[in-house]
Amino acid sequence: MELNDWIKNNTIHHSQFWDIKKLVEEKEKQGLKISLCLPTLNEEKTIGKEIVMFKSELMDRYPLLDEIAVIDSGSTDNTREIAATFGADVHLSAEILPQYGEKKGKGENLWKAVYELTGDIIVYVDADIKNIHPRFAYGLVAPLIYRPEVHYVKAFYDRPLAFSQGVRPSGGGRVTEILVRPLFSLFFPDLTGLIQPLSGEYAVRREVLDQIPFPIGYGVETSHLIDVYEKWGMKAIAQVDLDQRVHRNQETRDLGKMAFGILRAFLFRAEALGVIGDLPELNTLLRQFQVNDESFEQIAYEIVEEERPPMIDIPEYREKFGIEK
């Protein structure tokens, strides 16, 4: 599929799926079960509102979601208590498959969710969205219900807006435009069709999620896109315009840590696929500076980006879901 054709055919606006009743009817006709996963770490300010909205609109009013689960990294605030109070299933990541050890990172939560949740489709939504709306779930799930060839649906939020001076360019966040888009342009040009490859909202079929590895940290979204593209092609990927997303912005220093982890994950994936040659042993330390009383102090952060194997390789997973290897 040519990239321009993919952008035209597989870039969709959420308003096409306004008829949630029809969506539920098609879901039930196919016998699908849909799970919503909210990965959390200290999200007490926004988690309650998200759960109330999704439960009231997409479980009680329209039975699109079959379960809403919080997978928590070990919050030190009231995230888990609030989530439980408002009716979500709450799981501590460390207590899921504990025999495989505890690792910290969002990707770890997403991986554990594949085991813990039971849906044929899992939709991931970040827990820090201030303007939460049902479209953040139904807009991503709908292409998987209506189009069997689509396996992985990614959200994006910016839209080109017409001004008197012309059109404002649309794109992803800072790390996307400075790091990920240049890398994709060099090594995986088809993936440049994704407007926001690092968005935290996406819906995926179980039979895709359980066949790909999960970096435990910042690199999980980039790694997933590369693996889905390599295994199933661009025709299996779609992106949905969800209009606006309001959330907290990160400091540039924190974006540096994110970029470091993404770059490590990207290089490992490119090496494994033979896109680049053998890598030397990569440093795990990111060094940044801060000013301290007119002197410059260097601080080193260790960012490893370990990887969890495909869930299909975990015996407990195959036993739980009755999968013969």
pLDDT digits (tens, 9 = 90+) for 177-204: 999 999 999 999 999 999 999 999 999 9
226 versus 252: the higher-pLDDT residue is 226
Kind of pairing between the strands at 285-292 and 237-241: unpaired
Per-residue pLDDT at 66 exceeds 60: yes
Identify whether the C-beta of residue 198 lies closer than 8 Å to the C-beta of residue 175.
Answer: yes
Q: Which of 266, 306, 256, 263 is nearest to 286 (CA)?
A: 256
Q: Which DSSP letter does residue 211 get?
A: T
Per-residue pLDDT at 122 exceeds 90: yes
Structural domains of the chain, ranges and CATH numbers in brackets:
3-320 (3.90.550.10)
* Bridge partners of residue 228, in order along the sequence: none
H/E element, 290: strand 285-292
SS3 306: coil
Per-residue pLDDT at 172 exceeds 70: no
Helix, strand, coil content of the chain in percent (nearest 5) = 45, 20, 35
pLDDT digits (tens, 9 = 90+) for 283-321: 989 998 888 777 888 888 888 878 999 999 999 999 999
- Look at residue 68 in the predicted model and tell me its pLDDT: 98
* Bridge partners of residue 300, in order along the sequence: 287
